[in-house]
Copies of this chain bind each other. A is one copy, B any other.
Amino acid sequence: MDLALSEAREAARNGEVPVGAVILDADNRPIARASNRVEADHDASAHAELLAMRAAARARGTTRLEDCTLVVTLEPCPMCAAAAVHFRIRRIIFGAWDPKGGGVDHGPRLFGQPACLHRPETIGGIRERENSLMLKEFFRALRHHS
């Protein structure tokens, strides 16, 4: 989670919503990391999680990450949760819960859908205060500057 938090801080420095993600292999070694790049890339899908999963799969030359863990500072949205199914991610560890935009423990709760083909193990709320505080401070500063 330290690596993911450092990616999130990198996003904040670039004026992006501060979310960071890391992919760990079966030995808990980081094989890819990414920060949110929506604004920089003009790509509304460039969430940290999706970028990290894509980078890990590309590095391995495969589409499946069956032994991998996604560590991310914020509960994944429905897009990223559904992508984790396509990539066959084994486990998702996330920081802050996202009652408005989350798709794992909120909203469509994608892994609980009857048609869901693959259900990653999920552990939410890891270092929750630290992770949610970073987002809150980012949005507070944004309001003060706009």
Q: How many copies does the complex hold?
A: 2
- Give A51's nearest chain B residue, CB to CB: B45
* Chain B neighbourhood of A86, CB < 8 A: 44-45, 77, 79
Interface of A is mostly: loop
Verify B45–A54 contact, CB threshold 8 A.
Answer: yes
Bound: A81/B44 CA distance, A: 13
4 closest A-B pairs by CB? A79-B82, A108-B108, A44-B86, A78-B82
Q: What residues of chain A have their CB less than 8 Å away from a CB belonging to chain B?
A: 38-39, 41-45, 50, 53-54, 57-58, 60-64, 77-79, 81-83, 85-88, 100-101, 103, 106-108, 110, 113, 115-117
Starting from the known contacts A42-B62, A42-B63, 10 additional A-B residue pairs (CB-CB under 8 Å) come to: A43-B58, A44-B64, A44-B83, A44-B88, A45-B45, A45-B50, A79-B79, A79-B82, A106-B115, A107-B116
